[in-house]
Amino acid sequence: MLTVELDTLGLEVGAAVLDLGCGRGRHMHALQARTDLRIVGVDLSLADLEAARAGLTSDTAALCVGDTRHLPFGDAAFDVVICAEMLEHIRDYRLAIAEIARVLKPGGRLGVSVPRDWPEWICWRLNSAYRRAPGGHVRIFNARALKRDIEAAGLHHRRTHGAHGLHAPYWWLQCLLWDRREQARSVALYHRFLVWDIMKRPRLTRLLACIADPLMGKSVVLYFDRNTRPA
């Protein structure tokens, strides 16, 4: 399940790509199908990185335990940076944005996603345990404010779109049934529907997603270019 559209990132042969907060490697696994990319995934969780490694077959992919606020890479090291569903987990997210700008080459591209504000607000209101869960979300982002923060770091905004519109009701249902969500049949059935949709991509759900993503997408995705001059 990809959140950032890889085709929008202008991936070229031999490009160096950094996946920040790569988790279990969903974007990395898709990237390795592209020709001759050099891919690095960074995450704080060793367990998630081990799961990501299990699906990697490319000999030009590497994994690293690291803190997004203090990246172990030199300036202008990457052509493309992906930062999907990560910034909402850290309090001093502007440090992460500054690090992204530092390691991104002039003219490089960034794809960043966070939970959309109003579907996330509903989750917070339905059950406070949702955001208190270990590794949970520490803030609700406003997309326009996040855009300004990233532009202030020297990047130029190119495009914004919603993603995972069919997933928002699933999380609302989980919040409503939080204490018994693992046993709830309704949650299990909705999860099965989402897996079926991801694997089969039927025409009906693609049409529904085209309608739902702009209106109620669980995520909002922003794309930027790194300015050729310092901010």
Q: What is the pLDDT of residues 169-184, one digit of tens each?
A: 999 999 999 999 999 9
For 114-149, write each residue's pLDDT tens digit.
Answer: 999 999 999 999 999 999 988 899 999 999 999 999
Sequence-distant (≥ 6) Cβ neighbours of residue 160 within 8 angstroms: 143, 147, 220, 221, 222, 223
The dotted CATH code for 6-226 is 3.40.50.150
> Region 188-192: what's the mean pLDDT?
97
- pLDDT bracket for residue 99 (50, 70, 90): very high
> How many angstroms separate the Cα of 222 from the Cα of each of 34, 146, 149?
22, 9, 12
Share of the chain above pLDDT 70, in %: 99
Domain ranges in the chain are 6-226
Query: Quick one: pLDDT at residue 231?
Result: 47
The pTM for the full model equals 0.95
